[in-house]
Amino acid sequence: MASPPPVADTMPPRGVPVATPARLDAAALRSLFERLAAHGGTETRFVERRISSLLNEAAESRGVLRYVPPDRFEKRTESPEVQGLVIAGETATVEPANGTRRTLRVDQHPALATLASSLRALLGGDLDALHRAFVVAASGDASRWRIDLVPRDEEARALVTRIDARGQDDTLRRFDLHEAGGDVVELWLIGAGPGPGAK
Partner 1 sequence: MKSRLATALPWVVWAVLAALAAIRVTHTSIDTDIGAFLPGPATPTQALVAEQIGQGAAAQLLLVAIEGEDSARLAQASRALRKALDHNPGFVFVANGDPASVRADRDRLLEARYLVSPHADGAGMRFAAPALRADLDRLASTLRGPMATIVRPVATRDPSLELAAILESLAGDGSPIATRHGVWFSADGRRAILLARLAAGAAALDSQAKAIDALRTAFAPLEQPGINLRIGGTPALALRSRASIQGDAMRLSLAALVSIIAILFAVLRSGRFLAAAALPIASGVLAGVAATATLFGSVHGVTLGFGITLIGEAVDYSIYTHLHRHPDGRYPRRFWPLMWLAAASSAAGFAAMCLSGFRGLEQLGVFSVVGILAAGASTRWLLPACLPQRPPPAPRWLDRGLTALQVGLRRLRPLLIVATIAAIALLGWRGATVWDDDLASISPLSPAVLGDEARLRADLGLPDAGLLVLVEAPDLQQALARAETVGTSLAGLRAQGLIAGFDDPTRLLPSAARQRARQQRLPAPKTLASDLDVALRGSVFRPGTFDPFLADVERARTREPIGPAFYRGTMIGHRLDAQIAASGSGGVRLTIPLAGVRDLASTRAALAGGAGVHVLDLKSDVEAIVRDYRRRASWVALAGALAITLLIAWRAGSARAAARVLAILPGTVALTAAAQVLIYNRLTLFNLVALLLVVGIASNYALFFAARHQGDAGNSAARMSVGLCAMTTFVAFLLLSLSSTPVLRMIGSTVAMGAALGLALSMAFAARAEANA
For residue 21, say if its preceding peptide bond is cis, omega within 30 degrees of 0.
Answer: no
- 3-class DSSP state of 184: strand
For residue 48, state whether it binds partner 1 (rule: CB under 8 A). Answer: yes
Burial class (CB in 10 A: 0-12, 13-18, 19+), 42: buried
| 177 forms part of the interface with partner 1 (CB under 8 A) | yes
Q: Check binding of 189 to partner 1 (CB under 8 A).
A: no
DSSP 71-118: TEEEEEEEESS-EEEEEETTEEEEE-TTS--EEEEGGG-HHHHHHHHH
Stretch that binds partner 1, among 27-35, 107-115, 121-129, 191-199 (CB under 8 A): 107-115
Q: Which 3-22 positions form the footprint of partner 1 (CB under 8 A)?
A: none
Q: Which of 179, 184, 191, 192 binds partner 1 (CB under 8 A)?
A: 179
Task: Report yes or no: 30 and 189 within 8 Å, Cβ to Cβ.
Answer: no
Stretch near partner 1 under the rule CB under 8 A, chosen from 5-13, 19-27, 120-128, 180-188: 180-188
Span near partner 1 by CB under 8 A; candidates 8-16, 120-128, 136-144, 172-180: 172-180
| Number of residues that this document lists for the chain | 199
CB under 8 Å to 25, separation ≥6 — which residues?
A: none
Residues that bind partner 1 (CB under 8 A): 48, 50, 52-57, 59, 61, 75, 77, 80-81, 83-85, 92, 94-98, 105, 107-109, 111-112, 115, 153-155, 159-160, 177, 179-181, 183, 185
